[in-house]
Every structure is written in C-alpha cells, then in structure tokens.
Structure 1
Amino acid sequence: MTGRGTYWQMMRVGRGAAASAEAGRIRYWALLLASFLTVLSICGLVLAAAGFDARSERGAARSPRLVEAFPQEQAVALWRNSDDLIGNIPHDVIYITPLTPDAPPPPGLSRWPEPGQAFLSPALREISSSEQLTTRYGRFAGIIGEEGLEAPGERLAYVAPTAELLDRKEMFEISGFGGPGVESLFGEHVHNYEPAYFYAGYIFLVILPTGLLVVVAVRAGAAARDRRITLLDALGATWRARACFAVGEAAVPVAVGTALAVVALAPACAWNVPVPGTEFILSSDDTRQSLSLLALVVAAVPATVLGLAAVFQPRRQHRKLQRAAKKGARRLSQQLAWLFPFALLFTIRGAELVPRILFLPVYAVGCVIVFATLPSVVGLATRELGRLLARVGRKAGGPGLLISGRRMAAKPGSTVRLGATLIIALGLAAQTQLWAGLFGDAAEAAFATRERIGTTMLQITPYASEKRIRNLEQALPSGAALVALEEDFGQARMEITGSCEALQSVKAPCPPNGSSAQVAYANADPRLQELIKRAGAGPSSGLSVRQGDPSNVPMQEENVYALLAIGQHGQDLSIPELSRVANQTLAMRTDVGVLDSSWIAGTGQMTTAIRWVRLMSFVGLGTVALAVGFTAMAEFLRFGRDLAPLSVLNGRRSLFRSAAGWSLLLPTVLAAAAGALVSYWLAAPVTHGVGPDRLTLMSLFPVTGGAIVCAVVLALWGGRAAALASDGWRPTVT
C-alpha cells in the first residue's frame, strides 16, 4: 500500500473508531457545535467589519456638499441637522428646503417633502404610536428608502419646515449630496462608539469563548483517545499516520457543523436580519458584498479545527511528577482560599476609602485577586458540598445523591473546573457590562432628577418671539401651564416668570406685577429644588419668581432663557405631545425634555453598547458553559461506566438521571448564583444606581439563565448517555 493510501486508510479507521469510542458521541456533538459556533462567530466579525465600511460609504453619499466648503458650486437647497430623543436614544432629524425646482432630493427620498411634511425611516415609522412620530415633525409624507440609510434599522427623519417657521439663518446652503471630498456628517455612527470598541468586546466575549470550546471539543474523551493514539505509536505508526487517524475521527462532525453554519448564514444573504436584543438590522446587501471573505472563513475554520485535532496528541509525563504536581496544587489551593474573603472585602470597601485618583488601580487589583482566589474557594466548597450531599443521601435513602456526593468529595476536580470557570466568566462579563454603562456625574444627576420629578416639569427651547410663545401657550394640552426661565449662571441666579396660576402650580408665591418674590430652597416645590440644584446655586440660595407674561421677558445677552411646561396638578406631561405642539408653533428646531435632557442624550451610545455587551455576554457565557459542560460530561460518562454494576443491582435507570442532576446541574446552578452575587458585590463601589442600565441581579439574569439552560440540556444528555453506556457493560472474571 502506498503512503497516500495508508493515510486514507488511517482516516477511515479513525472515523470508525470515533463512532464506537468511549465518549465518542459527546466528542461528536462537541466538535459539531464548536465548528458551528466558530464559523458563525468569525463570520459575524467579518459582517461587522463590512457593515462599518458600508455604513461609512452610505453616510458620505447622503451627506451635504456645503457651499462653505465648495464655494465654486451653486446652492440648490437649504440643509440643517438636528436630533431628537426616544427614551435616551438619540436620532437625527434633518431639515431641508429646495431652492431650485430641479434640485435632486437626498438619497432615499423619491421627492422633496412639501412644507410641513416629514419622511421617516422604517425604524421610526414602526415605533409605538404613543411617540406620535407620524405627526411630531409634520404630516407624514412617506418612508425613506434603504439606500438613504446607514443601516436598515437607522432612525432618521427628513423634515421640510413651514414658511412661518423656516429660519434661513440657521440653515446651511448646499450644492447637492455626496461626491468627492464629502465626509459623513450625521447618522448612527455619530451616536455610537467607535468600531474599535465593538471589535475589542466581540473578540473578548465571543471569539475567545469559541476558541476555548474548540480546544475542549478537540480534547473531549481524551483518556480513551490518548490510549488509541498511544497504541498506534507502539505499533509503529508515524506522526503523519497518527495525525490522519485523528483527522478521520473529527472530520464528520466538523463538516456537519460547518454545513449547518452555512445554512444558518444563508438567510442573511437574501433578507435583512434583525440582531436579537440590539435593535440593529443586518443589511443583506452588506452580507452579499462579503461573500468572498465569508467563503474563506467557511473553508479556513474546519481546516483549523482538524489541524488542531491532529496536533493535540498525548504527551508522555512521569507519574511521580503528576502526583507531585497535584499535591502542590492542592496545598496552594487551600492557602489561596483563605485570601478570598479579605480580597473581596478589600475590593468592596477599600476602594471606597482611598483617594479618588487611586480608586481605579486599587479596584482593579482587588478584582484580579478575587478572581484568582475564587477557584480555591470553589474547590473547598465543592468538597464540603459533596460531604453534605452524601450525608443527606444516606439518610434519605437516595442512591444517586449518595454516590454523587461521595464522588464530589473524593474527586472534586471536574466540578471545581465547571463551577470556577462559570463564576469567573460571569464576573468578567458583568465587569464589561458595568464599565460600558458608567455615566458621567452630570448624566447621573439628570437621571436622578427624572426619577424624582418624572415629567411633571419639562424644559422647552428655544425661547422664541413673543407671538410664537403665545401660540405655543394656546396650543398646550389641558393641565399644562407655561412659565419662562431666566438663568444667570455667573451669579447663580434664577428667575421664573408666569401667571399666578402657573406659579401656584409649583407652590410659589404670586407677587404683584413689577415685583419679584424669593423662594427658599428648603420650602420650595421639589421641581423648583431641582432647578436650583441644576444651576449650582446650592441649598443655601434661593429662587426668585415674578408674575408676568412668559412671552415678554426682558432679554439680557449674558443670560440663558428657556420655557418650562408645568403639570398644574403634579401630573406627568407627555413629551411626544409637547414636542408636536412646539414643532408646529414655536420654532423650526425645538427641544422638549426633562431637565438637562442633553446629558441624558449623551448616554444613548452607552445604552446601545450595553445591549451589545449583554448579547455578546449571553453568547460567550453560553459557549463557556458548553465547553466546561462537555468536559464535565465526558468525565461523568466515565463515572457512569463505573456505576453500571450498581444499576444492575438497583434495577432502575433513574440512578443515572439522578447522578447527572446532582453532578452536573446542581453545581452549575450554584455557580451561576454565586457568580451573579459576587459580580453584584464587586459592582457596588462603581455604580451609583441611578442610570437606566445599571448593573443589577436582574440584569445578569439573561446571562446566568443561558448557562443554566445549557446545564439542563447537558445534564439530561449526560444521564441518558451514561444509561446507554451501562447497557453495554458485562461482568468479567479476573
């Protein structure tokens, strides 16, 4: 037989050996899932890069050619960008007016909107009617085409202001859209973090866990596999022959997993696919433009996995060295376990006591020590848990509980690896979510204000002409009153002007016309207290109120002016309703929101980032759970073979299901709960607890839930696999 024929023969032998090997089915599914998830994860990275590039190109193609930047070109339209909020997520609102009848409309529009009309992107159009988006900016004119959007899920509006509200001084003259020398001036990319942050999070939370799963899958059932490889070595097989044997063992599941990944990716080439939990929609055009790179990934991943299967062959190690290493590791583990509670206390309380400049390094060192000592604690806890389960099983007469407890106490290695890996992975995912969702002090204060007073008082800008303010006041919904706010930040002075009815709605005095009255902070309405704190006047300062017409306040150049809509009976006001009224009566560009809503708008990119972090953490931790679960299940299957004689005496297959539940499911549930609790404690010194996406035990539930679901599946599968393996047991005479 030729050398090439020998290699093919070894591959066929490897494929046959894999089907009948110990833990062969577990390794089959581990390799299948590893190949499937690795192809999907790397293809996801390719699609993300293609999406970022395509978004930049589409953003530049729709950006205006400002006459200021291209003075040799003739103006054909007026253009102005603005933004608006839904929750704390900002989106762009573009005001446009053509100057010539033959001016081409912006990409994505079939025509210019008529004065008082608005085109909306599909994402804005599909938002709940409570936001009144079809009437907020004007009469609904149609949908923006996909060619005019950075991504299919982008929120965008094109608005043509009415002749009465058109402010030419605020608008820019443009000569068209796109072309050489034009950069993207607006769009989703402005409201989100740079792509580098996404790549870093994706590699850390998705790519690395899938790499771990690949290594685990290649080494699954290693004990029996290593014996086969060692036998081939003893029979004189060359390294290449042994490698071909290993490739033959892994070829079928790797090929099936890759094929399933291709099937899963196929719909993204034909349709726009929404990404769960992120409000992002993957463009099918971007997917089709990346087909060559995707094909390269589909070819490279299985080749890499098979190469690892061939390379990861057993190494010879002296048994005395193995025993010495295990004894040293056990002694070190016991010593480190006593360091854990002090490290946790140091991180939670010590970081709060040091100067602010030292907080971050002290906190980081504390977290590293906590995660480094955590496996030792898990090891001690596992032994104690095993002894407890054994005692309970002996008293209750439960053989599965008794056997699992004694095994856990005597050989806790697999359980420790399972629990410690899950806890550390959950802790790292929680830390990523925590730091991605940290808001600045001003944003935290704005969220705190919103929680205290809700929308019972809303700020409206700009402070327009007397006629327009009166039009706004007449159009206000019932139960809302209007006052003018004048702020002198240099003197920390504030004054409110309004009717007696409006002033009394915030429990302020109503002085005679032409005079003002002071309102002390301690006695002020909670809404006025928020105003005083925002201006930085402090609790010791007061606020002046004046009876008068809010549309006719004497203006001073150095002061800042705004309007306040107040719920007369303390009721919440509707931001969408007031936005619609202000856009129709006050100005071309208006801003309606809670106090300091501009700071809240700045947290939108953090909210979007947290959504991605939660999704990637769910995928990453689920993958880690599969990796350590497959390892634990392979060891449990060997344990199940040892239980075969007991199943003959017991006469019930439920012994295996019970043992799998106590050996696989219970440690995972306890590890997930412990990981969530430790992560929550570690977050205490960092989070202020007022943002909408703060780290809570409930925010960790999707990630921990994913790990528990994987554990349930693996426990059911492990119990069934052990029961089937026991069917082949036969007593032997020695």
Structure 2
Amino acid sequence: MRPHALWRQLLRIGLAAGRNSPGGRLRFAALITAAAVVTLVLMSCLAVIATYDGWDRRDVARGVEIARHGDSPVVALYKRAGDSVGTRPHEVVYIEPKSPQASPPPGLPRWPEPGEAFLSPELVRVGEGEGITRRYGKFAGIIDSSGLATPSERLAYVRPAVTGHHGWSKIAKIGSARSTPMGDTLNRVPAGQLLSAIGFTVGGVAIVLLVVAARCGSSSRDRRVRLLTALGGNRWHLALVNLGEACIPVVIGTLLGSVPYLLMSLWDVRIPLIDQVVGSADLRAWAWVTPMVALAGCGLMLFVVVALHLAGIDGGGTRPRVFADRIPRWRLYAGLLGLIAIVTTPYLPKLTSFLAYIAGTTLLWGMLPSAAGAVIRYWGNSAASFGRWAGRADVLIAGRWAHARPGVVVRLVAVMVIGLGVITQAQVWTSRLGDSGQNARALQRELHDSVLVVTPQSITPASVDAFTRSLPKNANIFLVNTAKKPTEPSVLRGSCEAMRSLGIACSSDGDHMTGGDARIAILGKFIGFGGEIKFREGNVSGNTQKADQIAVVSPPGTTGLNARVKETANRAFGLAQVKRPYDGWILGADRLVNMADWVKLLTILTLIILALAVAFSSAAEFLVFTTAVAPLAVLTERRRFLLGIAIWNLTVPTVIAVAFGVCVAAWQGSFFISLSKSGMFSWSLLAACAAGALVLAIAIGLIGGTGAIRATARWRPAAD
C-alpha cells in the first residue's frame, strides 16, 4: 500500500473509532466542549485587545491639549469635576467655547448652549431615578459613542450659565495624545493585567479541561494502540489515527466557540456582574483576526491530543494515574510548603509577603486534593477492615477499591475542593475596603444625606436666597468660611434654628460650640482641615463675601436629599459641587469595586469550566466503575449491594475530602482577615458551598450506583 493511501486509511480508522461505544460518544462530546472553551478564551483575549484599541483611539480623539503660553490660540475653556449617581462616580466636563470655528468634542453634534448639558446614554439610564437629566441644566441630548471610551461610560459635557471662569484651563486644541486620562480611562485595568488574569485563571482551567477531554475513553484507545503496535505501527501512524479521531469534534467545537465573538460584533453586549458594555464596532474592527485565532485554537487542541497519546506507543497507555502504589510524596510536601508560606507572611516585607501569600495559596489548594487522597487511602484500609468484621461485602469491596485507586477520588473532588478555596478567597479579598472604606461605610449608614457640603463657583446673596427657597423645610444651611491655615478654625454662620438642629445652644454673642452630635464631628473633619470649627449666629443671606462653601444639615437618617440638593445648587449657582463627607472614600474605592467584580466574574467562569472538567472526568470514571462492578452481579441479585459499593466508594470519600477543604477554607479565610485587619468572612457562603458539595457527592454515588445496576443487565462474560 502506498504511503498516502495508508495515511488516508489510518485517518478513516480514526474518524470511525469508537462512535458506537459509550466511551467514544463521551470522548466526542468532551472534545467538542474543550475546543469550544479554548476558542472562547482565545476570542475573549482578542475582544480585550480590540476593545482597548478602540478605547485608546477615542481617548486620543477627545483628549485636550492645554495652552502653554499666554499668546497661544484658545478654542475653549475647560474644567473637570467629579459627581456620582448613588455611590458610583462619573465625570463632568465643564466647557465654554471661545472660537466659533472650533469643532465640538467628539460625540457632540454641536457646542452646548449656556445652561445645557449633553449626557452619555449610560448616565441617563442609571441616573433616571435621581433626575440626572435635570441636574446640570437643560438636557441637550446624548453623547454619541464616538465620544465615549466605552458604551457604558458615565460622562457629562456641561456648559454652565456662569459669568466668571476662575480655575478653568485654556484649551489649545481638542484631540491630543498628551492629555490626562478622563472618564472610564481613569479606573481601567491595564490591558496586560487583564489578559494575564484571563490567561492564568480561565485559560489555565481551559487547559485542564482540554487534557481531561483528550484522555476520555482511554481504555478503548489503549487497546487500539496496542493493536497498532502489534501490527508494526509507529508514532506517525498513531498520530494519524488520533488526528482523525479528534479533527471532527475539534472543528465543531472551534466553530461553536467563535460564534459569541461574531454575535458580539453585531450588537453591543453588557458583561454580567461587570456592568460594562462591549462595543460591537471595536470587535468588528478586529473581526479579520478571528479566522487566525480560531485556527490557532484548533491547532492547539489537535497538538495536545496527539502529543498526549504519542506516549502510548511505548505501552504506557493514556489513562490518568490512579496512584495504585501511593500518592507521590512531592505533592504532599508541596502542599506543606504552601501552608508554611501562608503562615510566615506576617513576618515578611510587604511585597514579599503578598507574593508569598499568593504562591502559598496556589500550592496549598493545588495539592490539597492529593492530601485528601492520602487520607482517603488510609480510610480505605479502615473501611475494608470494618466491612470484613461486620460482614458487609459492599464496604469491604469499596474500601479495597479506595485504597488501591485513591487517584480516582482525587480527580473527582479536585474541582469541589479547589472551588471552595477559590470562592472563599475571592469573597474575602473582595470584602476588603480598608480602614478608611469601612469607616466611610459606617458613616454612610449613620448619616445618609443629613450632612451635605456645597461648593459653588461663586456665592451671592441672591443665589443663596434662591438655593434656600428650594430646600425642604427640615434642611438648614450654614455659610462656611474655610480656614486658610491649619492653625485657624473654620467658621460656620447660621441661624439659631439651624444651630439648635445640631444640638448647639444659641445665644446672641460670641462663638458657639456647646453640645452637638455626630454631624458636628464630621463637619469638623471635612471642612476644617480635620481641626477646629466655630459656629456663629448670623443671617445667611447677608454678607456672603468671605463664604466659599455652604453646609446643608438635616435630621440624621435623611435619605434622597443628595440628588435634590445637586439639582437645586446647579440651578441657583450655575455651577456647584455637592459632596457628602464620606463620598471621597466610597467613590475613591470604585477601582477596587471594579477589580472585585472582575475577580467574581473570573471566579465564576473558572468554576464553570472546572465543573465541566469534573463532569467529563466523572463520566469517564463511571464507565470504568460500571464495567468493573458489573461482573459482581453474578454473586447477588440485590441492587442495594451495587448501590452500596458506589456510595461507599464514591460518596463517602468525596464527603471526607469536602470536609477537609471546608476546614482549610475556614482557617485560611479567618487567618487572612486577622492578618490584613480588614474584610469579613462569609460563613453563610461557605455553608452554602459545603451544602452544594454534599449534594453533588450524593449525586456522584447515586449516578455511579444506578449506572452499575443498568450495566449488569447488559454485561456478558468476554475475553477482553
């Protein structure tokens, strides 16, 4: 036979291999799933690159270049400020055109008129409940996507109706790569970090799924390898058979994995948990790369399948190890080394401590299933002894099986045990706000909107009167003369009624600071350099020359006042910043919140892929289990006997391993909180995960048992 004819025949053998057997069908489904997941991960990385590329281009197009010299031409005046809807910040760009020939910023159809504001679609959507379209003046329209970093960016362009522009910058041109970041760009994660996070988390477990899929149906494949070897086949012949076996499911999976990217290039899609929209236009700009990415994913899958199976030509087989002798000691030592690294982190320098904690956690949880397997191996001996003493054949057989094959249980419990560690660590890390953040949360729960500080562009008696008339009856105001030096007190001037609302005794002369409540303490920290403040009785609509801020106080626990005061202040003063004393800490934690959301999303995706891996691995083990147990049916007609073997061999060891993981998760979570002195450990989350793992352990035993019962009806003695 000619070589090319032989190769075609070997490919046909691979294409037809195992199609009608349970192992062949399982292998086919596993390869499709693994190829789809690997392609999805690669396409996700391409989507990140495409999104950041479009992001950078739009950032340059809307960037402003400040006029450096007094005689430079000025196209507009420019001022940036922060605001928020709820506790989520957004950026407000105040702009005043100075050149009639100048084009407006990208995304705007025209320059806004005095008292008008253009808002991004996302800001309009999330701010509807707070009346965001009325906050900055007349709503002029929507900012087009060409002027936004991402479709989900919260941004406002405002032209306030003010006469003075103190503190504004002069713009030489719009469209510069030298401008400072604005909007979402201020808090975005660098592209390299995001790609690394996706690669190490989702990409890592995708490789695990790939290996599991490649090894599915290994018993029938090993028989085929031995036959090819006996017939004189070499590595190339084996590779062609394996290539023929894997090419169809891999191609199908690759095509399925490419579909989400193509769909997202047609419509904008909001990422779950992240609350961020991926722009379809950015993905379309890079759509020409998708065939190359798909081919790379397909080639990687076929390479792994062929490379893993080439070892079988020497008789080693492709089946996963069951550790029939013993679990390798290096795994236990590596886990112990990880535990030591975690425990010693308090005594190391800051950066070294962080790296040691991450490395130690990875080692500990990566090797914990093997440690659980060592415990299960010893448990198998004890269970077998108990079965022999009690006359329980099912316990005796299951104990011997667990002692001889602890690697089976290690693979079954790996996802559950490692998943417990990933979930609990992600929960603890994302609960960290730091001391400032936790104090801010406490102030938010105590004060709500009862203390607000307004910083107008300018203060006049008329504007103060207009502002005061629009406030609720239970709100009182103080004019603030902020101290210029830390050694001087800031002075708050208000009516006796306003002082009495704070619990301050009022008299006709001098400064007042008798009594008071928590609102006074926070005003002192926020207004007066963290130092002393004084209250004076006076008419708030009188002398406003020295006032630079206005404090609005209302009864403790007042809610819903923040948005109303912001709208009222902008209407009365033309331009005003309104802040709650704790806003700086909470809004400043937005980057941490965004990172925490990414951690949650990647954790969930990681666990889903690991669950797929354990599902295929378990299904493969069930095939081995049912084939091995079926001959025992000739010894008894009791179905409970086979079900008992499955429960004792699969469920009980899994429960032991999960209990092992729960204890370690609880210890490490508590240790981390005591180490960092921040965050909280969710016992309810751990209990829910443990309950879910327990249900899964019972399901594994029941599925294995019922599968063995069904297999007994079909089993016939064979010379295999």
Question: Which bin holds the TM-score, normalised by the shorter protein?
Answer: 0.7 to 0.9
1:20/1:152 Cα in 2 relative to 1: closer, same or farther (>3 Å)? same
- SS of corresponding position for 2:126: coil
Q: C-alpha distance in 2, partners of 1:508/1:284?
A: 58
Q: Which residue of 2 aligns with 1:685?
A: 674
Q: C-alpha distance in 2, partners of 1:274/1:118?
A: 26
1:187 is displaced (CA, Å) by: 2.6
Could you tell me which of 162, 166, 176 is aligned with 1:169? 166
Contact 1:205/1:429, CA 8 A, preserved across alignment: no
Q: C-alpha distance in 1, partners of 2:66/2:8?
A: 67
1:578 is displaced (CA, Å) by: 1.6
1:727 is displaced (CA, Å) by: 5.1
1:491 is displaced (CA, Å) by: 3.2
Q: C-alpha distance in 2, partners of 1:324/1:702?
A: 30
Q: C-alpha distance in 1, partners of 2:10/2:17?
A: 10
- SS of corresponding position for 1:80: strand
Q: Which residue of 1 aligns with 2:569?
A: 582
1:616 is displaced (CA, Å) by: 1.1
Contact 1:653/1:723, CA 8 A, preserved across alignment: no
Could you tell me which of 293, 297, 300 is aligned with 2:293? 297
Q: C-alpha distance in 1, partners of 2:356/2:294?
A: 44
Contact 2:322/2:406, CA 8 A, preserved across alignment: no
The answer on 1:469 being equivalent to 2:464 is yes
1:491/1:424 Cα in 2 relative to 1: closer, same or farther (>3 Å)? farther
Q: Which residue of 2 aligns with 1:233?
A: 229
Contact 2:384/2:396, CA 8 A, preserved across alignment: yes
Q: C-alpha distance in 1, partners of 2:390/2:456?
A: 75
1:553 is displaced (CA, Å) by: 7.8
1:252 is displaced (CA, Å) by: 2.0
Contact 1:404/1:662, CA 8 A, preserved across alignment: no
1:40 is displaced (CA, Å) by: 0.7
Contact 2:52/2:191, CA 8 A, preserved across alignment: yes
The answer on 1:512 being equivalent to 2:499 is no
1:496 is displaced (CA, Å) by: 3.9
Structure 1 unaligned regions, length at least 5: none
Paired residues for 1:328-477 under 5 Å = 329=327, 343=339, 347=342, 360=354, 363=357, 367=361, 370-371=364-365, 374-375=368-369, 377-379=371-373, 382=376, 407-408=401-402, 411-424=405-418, 426-428=420-422, 431=425, 438-439=432-433, 441-462=435-456, 464-467=458-461, 468-477=463-472
Amino acid of the structure 1 residue aligned with 2:603: S
Could you tell me which of 553, 561, 565 is aligned with 1:566? 553
Q: Which residue of 2 aligns with 1:178?
A: 175
Q: Which residue of 1 aligns with 2:16?
A: 16
1:583 is displaced (CA, Å) by: 1.7
Amino acid of the structure 1 residue aligned with 2:475: A
1:331 is displaced (CA, Å) by: 6.5
1:391 is displaced (CA, Å) by: 11
Q: C-alpha distance in 1, partners of 2:267/2:284?
A: 10
Q: C-alpha distance in 1, partners of 2:103/2:443?
A: 45
The answer on 1:134 being equivalent to 2:136 is no
1:469/1:333 Cα in 2 relative to 1: closer, same or farther (>3 Å)? same
Amino acid of the structure 1 residue aligned with 2:469: Q
1:498 is displaced (CA, Å) by: 2.4
Contact 1:64/1:176, CA 8 A, preserved across alignment: yes
CA RMSD of aligned residues (A): 4.5
1:61/1:717 Cα in 2 relative to 1: closer, same or farther (>3 Å)? farther
The CA deviation string for residues 639-687 of structure 1, in whole angstroms up to 9 with x for no partner, is: 1112324567557699679948837986797677557535533431355
Contact 2:417/2:657, CA 8 A, preserved across alignment: no
1:202/1:542 Cα in 2 relative to 1: closer, same or farther (>3 Å)? same
Paired residues for 1:475-514 under 5 Å = 475-485=470-480, 486=482, 490-491=486-487, 493=489, 495-514=491-510
1:357 is displaced (CA, Å) by: 9.0
1:516/1:389 Cα in 2 relative to 1: closer, same or farther (>3 Å)? farther
1:317/1:458 Cα in 2 relative to 1: closer, same or farther (>3 Å)? farther
* Residue correspondences, number: 711
Amino acid of the structure 1 residue aligned with 2:409: T
Q: Which residue of 1 aligns with 2:518?
A: 526
Q: C-alpha distance in 2, partners of 1:365/1:262?
A: 34
1:50/1:710 Cα in 2 relative to 1: closer, same or farther (>3 Å)? farther
1:630 is displaced (CA, Å) by: 2.5
Contact 2:380/2:400, CA 8 A, preserved across alignment: yes
- SS of corresponding position for 1:684: helix
Contact 1:77/1:97, CA 8 A, preserved across alignment: yes
- SS of corresponding position for 2:550: strand
Q: C-alpha distance in 1, partners of 2:255/2:292?
A: 14
1:126/1:335 Cα in 2 relative to 1: closer, same or farther (>3 Å)? closer
Contact 2:433/2:678, CA 8 A, preserved across alignment: no
The CA deviation string for residues 482-531 of structure 1, in whole angstroms up to 9 with x for no partner, is: 22454577338555432222222222222433333355xxxx52233344
Q: Which residue of 2 aligns with 1:616?
A: 602
The CA deviation string for residues 676-726 of structure 1, in whole angstroms up to 9 with x for no partner, is: 535533431355556xxx664567899999989998998898677666655
The CA deviation string for residues 598-654 of structure 1, in whole angstroms up to 9 with x for no partner, is: 232221111112111211111112212322442233123201112324567557699
- SS of corresponding position for 2:117: strand
- SS of corresponding position for 1:517: coil
1:408 is displaced (CA, Å) by: 4.2
The answer on 1:662 being equivalent to 2:648 is no
1:205 is displaced (CA, Å) by: 1.4
1:727/1:237 Cα in 2 relative to 1: closer, same or farther (>3 Å)? farther
- SS of corresponding position for 1:174: strand
Q: C-alpha distance in 2, partners of 1:308/1:361?
A: 31
1:245 is displaced (CA, Å) by: 0.7
Q: C-alpha distance in 1, partners of 2:170/2:677?
A: 45
1:586/1:430 Cα in 2 relative to 1: closer, same or farther (>3 Å)? farther
Q: C-alpha distance in 2, partners of 1:703/1:157?
A: 43
Contact 2:116/2:140, CA 8 A, preserved across alignment: yes
Contact 1:408/1:663, CA 8 A, preserved across alignment: no
Q: C-alpha distance in 2, partners of 1:456/1:13?
A: 77
